[in-house]
Amino acid sequence: MLKVKINQTAPVFMQITLECAPGEVHALVGPSGSGKTTILRTIAGLNQAATGSIECNDQIWLSTDRSGRVKSSLAAKDRCCGFLFQQYALFPHLSALDNVIIALQNIELTSERRKQLAAQWLERMGIGQLSKRMPHQLSGGQQQRVGLARALARKPSILLLDEPFSAIDTPTRLGLYKTLAEIRIDLNVPMLLVTHDLREADLLADRITVIDQGISLQTAAPKTLFSKPRNSRVAELVGISNIFQGKFNSGELSWDGCNQLFSVVDKGKIPPHSQVAWVIPQSALSLHRESSKTGVTAIVEEISSLGQIAVIQLRIENSEIRITWEASTAEIKRLDMKVDGLMQIEMDANQIHIMPLRPINDPRRFQESV
């Protein structure tokens, strides 16, 4: 089990709390500059946290008191992390085999045994036949497999993956996804994956932590995160398109800018008469042409076809509220939907999720003037 708790204001602002169990893939997502890579480097000991704690498999890697005095800190070389970088980070003057062997240099093994282990890992990655090639003679996917073999050769306590699939083509990426799925079962170690790709996080991760400006905003399983974000900032960062505001009071939700009212169940965490943000998933939206008492009239402003999928931008009649709907191109044709045409939007209020507008862990509070 990996347990991380970092709370510092300098040299880089960080308020991070996360855990990762053996065999779990835990994704870190967030915008560029949010601190995702810094977190990995801090765990690996390449950066020093000012205050906090890092524990892996009951071994203390870092412990400080509140004043920042270090009580215990393992050097990076003693933390036994497997680290796979975005740009491969292979030594250009070494062969694929020697790049893996170098990870075993500080282990008490004969040179022949190191060579055997390195060759075995290249075989396991499906590139044993390329062991004598230099990095420039390998494709991007092959180089990343060498990097993965090197990261795993020491049998690490944790595996840190820093956007390892972003620089390779889709077929190669899918092959590496499969390899990762296979080795996670055998290794049974915590795996932290930094990625910009929400689809990748959804596909690979058991849990996702959303990071923004050095703060961990929410940790949840992908399905929960995408349907029930903790606040409006999380909703924005995970790509939820339909985010609105309203007032919530005793189960009734108003919609700012629209006369529509919804009956919404809350867990009792929202005070009466609170201004809230709210989201509604695509699965809760349906469109038709016939007018109804429960429907909301909307004007079709834009239809963008993306292969077999279309993204439709609608504006609620007599307002500036816009809502996005995704459907198949066949459904668009069936509805005879055209730009400037009128449609009725039905919303399943049971799937509406309400959130505080500006919670305590929203980093935007640091940008506000006093």
Residues 42 and 103 in one domain: yes
Say whether both 308 and 360 belong to one domain.
no
Please indicate, yes or no, whether residues 12 and 158 belong to a single structural domain of this protein: yes
Q: How far apart are CA 100 and CA 93, in angstroms?
A: 13
User: Which amino acid appears at position 79 of this protein?
Assistant: R
The tokens 């765990």 sit on which residue?
43
Same domain, 251 and 316: no
Q: Are residues 321 and 217 in the same domain?
A: no
Tell me the sheet residues that pair with 191: 25, 159
Tell me: the pLDDT tens digits for 205-228?
999 999 999 999 999 999 999 988
* pLDDT at position 363: 57
* pLDDT, tens only, 303-359: 998 788 899 999 999 999 999 999 999 999 999 999 999 999 999 999 999 988 765
Helices vs. strands in the chain: H and E counts, helices first: 9, 21
Domain span holding position 294: 281-347
212 and 295 both lie in a single domain: no
Residue 89 lies in a domain: yes
Token pair for residue 107? 């282990």
Residue 161 included in any domain? yes
Cβ-proximal residues to 182 (8 Å cutoff; 6+ apart), any chain: none
**Which residues are CB-neighbours of 176 under 8 A, at least 6 positions away?**
141, 144, 145, 148, 164, 165, 168
Does residue 331 sit in the same domain as residue 366? no
Q: 172-198 pLDDT, tens per residue?
A: 888 888 888 888 888 899 999 999 889
The Cα–Cα gap between 326 and 329 comes to 9
Asked if 238 contacts 229 with a C-beta cutoff of 8 angstroms, the reply is yes
pLDDT at position 249 over 80: yes
Q: For 234, phi and psi rounded to 5 degrees?
A: -60, -45
Q: How far apart are the C-alpha atoms of 200 and 304, rounded to whole Å?
A: 24
pTM metric for this prediction: 0.86
Residue 232 within a domain: no
Residue 368: the pLDDT is: 39
Q: The domain spanning residue 340 has which CATH number? A: 2.40.50.140
Task: Grade residue 9 by pLDDT with cuts at 50, 70 and 90.
Answer: confident
Question: Does residue 251 sit in the same domain as residue 111?
Answer: no
322 shares a domain with 212: no
